[in-house]
Structure 1
């Protein structure tokens, strides 16, 4: 299996932890380092464009999108979350590989930390497991 990972550089303390979790899980389940392609993008809104680039320019079997948006005092949070959600959904329809939604959308920094290796586990791990399962499904029904 070959995996792509697109990770947001914004909120890097959180996204770095998500990334480390995803990598560790992929390796633990048999992925080889040379079969994991990673690119960083400036922010979560750019996850969709980065994922599209990986899909068009590599031969990965799945792409994991990792980011974190923390709610503030403006509607910016809503627009970014909605845009990324719709963008990743559209990529799943357009391409024949799965795009995994690994975007944390939290109300505060503590909630993000709790989901990036804290008391709620690491959502990067969960995204990697989802990617593995989706690749297995695609392989099972490949013709």
Structure 2
């Protein structure tokens, strides 16, 4: 495991999770990979006692829309998530489709992080081969589903700590 992964998996700074909730939005496309990302995220959220829900969309291109709709549909209901984690896997093919999808989902998630009052975590694997994807499910590059959960928890803690310090 790289030094980067070890630092990310350090749970220092995960505080103030009372009442926190996470929504995982994940894709049907490349489900043999994406389902394991979701499973890893779910394991970490359960370890920290954080409630969560899962919602599925067809592909990575649809993730930004789904994340925005989750926030819009829960706004003012008391059921708003503390964070949203978007999971997908785009594997390079023979056409420029890969580039279009990767650019669109990256830009979409970036824009949501500017617009929404909760963090939207980028859990989309953008890889050249299926082997590279499976290496990110607990192999040489860590488990990106677990890392997505820890990132969400750290961002929830960051936001809550910031709010407390401003009071």
1:45 Cα deviation from its structure 2 partner: 0.7
Runs (4+) of structure 1 exceeding 4 A deviation are none
1:112 Cα deviation from its structure 2 partner: 0.5
1:106 to 127, 131, 144: 127
* Counterpart position of 2:86: 65
TM-score normalized with structure 1 length: 0.94
1:130 Cα deviation from its structure 2 partner: 0.3
Structure 2 unpaired stretches of 5+? 1-19, 75-79
Alignment partner of 1:131 is 2:152: yes
* Counterpart position of 2:108: 87
1:15 to 25, 34, 42: 34
1:6-45 to structure 2, matched below 5 A, reads: 6-31=25-50, 35-45=51-61
Q: 1:71, 1:106 within 8 Å by CA — same for their partners in 2?
A: yes
Q: 1:19, 1:124 within 8 Å by CA — same for their partners in 2?
A: yes
* Counterpart position of 2:66: 50
Structure 1 CA distance, aligned partners of 2:116 and 2:141? 31
User: What does the per-residue CA deviation read over 1:37-60, in whole Å, with 9 as the maximum and x for residues that have no partner?
Assistant: 210000011111111111112310
1:124 Cα deviation from its structure 2 partner: 0.5
User: What does the per-residue CA deviation read over 1:90-135, in whole Å, with 9 as the maximum and x for residues that have no partner?
Assistant: 0011111000000000000000111123332210100000000000
Task: Tell me the secondary structure at the aligned position of residue 135 of structure 2.
Answer: helix
Give RMSD over aligned pairs: 1.0
| Number of positions where the alignment pairs a residue of Structure 1 with one of Structure 2 | 140
* Counterpart position of 2:7: none
Comparing 8-17 with 51-60, which one deviates more in the overlay? 51-60
Q: Decide which structure has the larger Cα Rg and report it.
A: 2
